[in-house]
Chains A and B, each alone.
Chain A
Amino acid sequence: MEFLTRDMLVLSFAALMGIAIMAYVILDGYDLGVGVLLPQAKGHDRDQMIHTIAPFWDANETWLVLGGGILLVAFPIAHGIILNATYLAVLIMLIGLILRGVSFELRVKAPAHRLELWNQMFAIGSATAGLAQGFMLGHFVVAFRDDWASLLFAALVAPCVLSAYTLMGASWLVLKTEGDLQRRAARWGRHALWLTALGIVLVSLATPIVSPRIFARWFSLDRIVIMSPIPLLVTGAVIWLSRWFYQFDADEHDHRAWIPFTLTIGLFLLSGLGLAYSTFPYVVIDQLTIWDAAASTPTLKMILLGVVIVLPPIIVYSAFSYRIFKGKSTHLSEA
C-alpha cells in the first residue's frame, strides 16, 4: 500500500468514521426508537414491537463500538479530548445501553410478574442512551464549551436527537408491522417528526453562530447556491414525511410502507452530510483537525488493511441477515 499518501489515509479514516457513525445512528437509532415507543403500546403489541428488532439489535450496537473504536485507534488524540469532555454523558449513555441490553433478554427470561419492570427498564435505558447521545452531539456542536449557554444548548439538542431516534423507530415499525399497530406507529412518527425538525434547525443555526468559519462556509455567495440542495432536500423530506404519516391508511398503503423509513434515513444522511461539511476537517470544531489527531501512518495502514479485507464481508452478511428477516415480523419465534 505504498501508493497511499498520508492525506488519503487520514481522509479514508475520517470517511470511515463518518460511515460507522451514520450506520450506528440509523441502525441503533431505529431500535432505540422502538424502545422509547414501547410504553405507548400494550401487551401483545409490545411483543410485536420487540420482535421487529430482536434479530438485529446486537449487530446494530456493534457499529457504536466500531465508530468509537475508529476514533480511539485512528484519531487517538481526539478520542482523549472528546471522551474527557463528555465523560459524564458517556457514562450515562453506557448505563442506558447496559440497562436496555439486559432488559431485552430479561423481559422474556425473568419471572413473568417482572415483565412490566423490564419493559420499563428497556424504555428507560433506550431513552437515557438517546438523550445522552443527543447531549454529546449538542456539546460537540458548541466545541465542548463549558459555559451555561453551551450546556443549555446541548441539553436542548438532547430531546431532539431522542425524537429523531423515535421517528426512526416509528418508521421502522410502519415497515415491519401491520394493522392497528402500524396505524399507531404512523401517528407516533408524525409526533416525533416536529421535535426532530426542531433539532435539525437548532444545530444548523448554532454551528454558524459558534464558528465564523462555518458561517463563511455556508453563507458566502457562491456556497449558498452550491449547498442549497441540502436544506431544500431536508425541508422536502420533512414535508413529505408529515403528509405521508397524516394520510396513512394501513389497509391501502401497506405496499408503500417502506417510504417513511427510507425518507427518515435520507433525513439522517442529509443532516450528517451537512454536519460533516460544517466541521471538516475538524474533529473538535475549530480546535483539532483530523490531520493533527490522526495516528501514525504505519498504524493507519495496518488498520486499513483489516478494514479492506473484513468490511465487505460484514456488509454482505449483514445484508444476508436483513434478507432472512425481511417482511413483517409478526411470525418471529425464538429458537
Chain B
Amino acid sequence: MDAVILSRIQFAANISFHIIFPTISIGLAWFLVYIRGQADQQPNGAWDAAFKFWVKVFALTFAFGVVSGVTMSFQFGTNWPGYMKTVGAVAGPLLAYEVLSAFFLEATFLGIMLFGQNKVSPAIYKLSVWLVAGGTTLSLFWILALNSWMHTPAGIEVVDGKVVANDWLAIIFNPSMPYRTVHMLLASAATAAFFVMGISAFRVLIGERGEDIQKTLRMASVVAAIVMPLQILAGDFHGLNTHEYQPAKLAAMEGLWHTETKVPLLLFAVPDEATQSNHYEIKIPQLASLVITHSLDGEIRGLDEFPNLHPPVFPVFWGFRIMVGTGIMMLVMSWVTWWFLRQSSPVPLWLLRVLVPATFIGWIPTLAGWYTTEIGRQPYLVTGILKTADALGQVSGTTIFGSLTAYLLLYAILLSVYVTTVFYMARTGAKLPGHDASQPSSHALAG
C-alpha cells in the first residue's frame, strides 16, 4: 500500500466528514442570533418556538463538529509530521490561536446557550448566543488564514529548509486569504440557509402549521437568495486570485493543456493525463478568457508550463464543474422560493418537495470546491515550499489502511445517523420528550 495516497485519503476523509458540520453550524449560529433577537422583541411568540427548535438542531450539529474536530487536530501530527517540522513556525501559532481564541469560547458559551436560559439574565443569554456565533466564525478565520497561507505563502523566508516567520500580518492576510475566507463564509451561509429551508419545508409537508416554520422558511430563503449571487461573484474573484497566484491549479480547473489566448470555456470534457489532451469537449468559445482575464483574447497559461509540478487534472477539472453547476442550481432554487414567498402566497407543494431533498445540497459545492482547491495545490502541501510526499510520517501503509477503514466505517454510520436524526427532530418538532423548557425539571425524559 502506498502510504502517501492512504494518508491523503485518510486526511481527506477526516476533514470532509468534519467540515460538513461547521459549514452548517457557522451559518446556523448566526441564524440563531437573528432568531434570538426577534424572539426577545416578541416574547413567547413564533420566534421563541423557532429558537427552541433550531437551538437543538444546532446542538446536535455542533457536537458532531466537535468530535470530528478533535479527531482532526490529531491528524496533522499522526500522518504529516513533516508539515510541522517545515512550516511549524507559521502553522503552530495559527493553530494555537484558533484553539485559544475560538474553541474555548464557543464550547463554554454553548453550555450556557443550551442549558442556561433559566439561569442567566436575558442580556447574558443573548450575549452567549452572540459569543457562540462569534467563536465559530473566529475559528473559521484562523483555520482559513492557515489554509490560504498554504496556497499562497507570504511573510516568511526559508532558512535551512525550514520556514521562518517574518511578518505576521502578511502571513495572516496572505494573497488568497480574503477571497477564501469570504467564499467559505458565504458557503456556510448558503449551506445553513438551504438546511433551514429544507427542514422547514419538510415540516410544512408533514402537516405542521406552526407560524415559526413559515418564519424560518422565509428567513432562510431571503438569506439564500441574497447569498447565492454574492457567492458566485466571490467565486469569480477567487478565480482571478488563483489565476494570478496558482496558475497550475487554474489550468487544471479549465482543462487547459497548452498556453493559449481566446481560451474556450469547457462545459464538458474528459481530461486525459496520458495524451495531455481532452476527449469529448463541449465548449463555449473565448468564454474562459473572458471570465479569467476579463478580455475575449486574454492569455491563460496551460499545464505544459508546469511539467511534473501540476495537479492531477481530472479531479480538479470535475470538482470545479460540480461546484459551479450545483451553485447555479442553488441560485435558481433560492430565487424561485423567494419569488413565491414575496407574493405572500403559500409556497406551492412542488417547490416544498424540491426543497426537502435539497436540505443538504450545500455540502456538495462546499466539498467539491475544497477538493478542487486542495487537489489543485498538489504536488505541494505548501505551494513552492513543501511537497506532500515529503511531509509523510513513518506509519506503515498497512496501519493507515486499518485506521482509514475504521474511520470510513464509523463516518458512514454517523453520517446516516445525523441525517435521520435531523429529520426525526423535524418530525417531532420541539415536542421532544424532556425538552420542554417550561417544565422546571425534566422528569418527562424517557427512562
Interface residues of A (CB under 8 A from B): 42-44, 46-47, 51, 54-56, 58-59, 61-62, 64-66, 68-74, 76-77, 79-80, 83-84, 87-88, 90-91, 94-95, 97-98, 100-102, 104-106, 108-112, 115, 295-296, 298-299, 302-303, 306-307, 310-311, 314, 317-318, 321, 324-325, 330-335
Contacts and interface: CB of A to CB of B under 8 A. Distances in A.
28 contacts: A54-B111, A55-B111, A58-B111, A62-B107, A65-B69, A71-B77, A72-B92, A84-B394, A88-B403, A95-B406, A98-B70, A98-B71, A102-B417, A102-B418, A104-B63, A111-B424, A296-B88, A296-B89, A306-B101, A307-B100, A310-B100, A314-B104, A324-B112, A330-B441, A333-B115, A333-B118, A333-B437, A335-B52
A94 B70 contact: yes
B340 to A, nearest CB: 31
Interface residues of B, number: 82
A43 B432 contact: no
A30 to B, nearest CB: 14
Nearest to B78: A83
B100 A306 contact: yes
Contact residues of A: prevailing secondary structure: helix
B369 to A, nearest CB: 26
Nearest to A80: B81
Interface centre among A43, A44, A102 (most CB of B within 10 A): A102
Contacts of B165: 298-299, 302
Nearest to B435: A334
B110 A58 contact: yes
Contacts of A43: 447
A68 B168 contact: no
Contacts of A325: 111, 115-116, 119
Nearest to B125: A335
A105 B59 contact: yes
Interface in B66-84: 66-71, 73-74, 76-78, 81, 84
B64 interface: yes
Given A74-B92, A98-B68, A324-B112, A109 B445 contact: no
A70 B95 CA distance: 9
A43 B443 CA distance: 10
B433 interface: yes
A87 to B, nearest CB: 6
A299 B107 contact: no
A53 to B, nearest CB: 10
B164 A331 contact: no
Contacts of B433: 108, 112
A304 B418 CA distance: 38
B66 A110 contact: no
Nearest to B56: A109
A331 B67 CA distance: 27
Interface string B96-133: 11011101110111111111111110000000000000
B70 A66 contact: no
Nearest to A101: B67
A69 B99 contact: yes
A55 B52 CA distance: 17
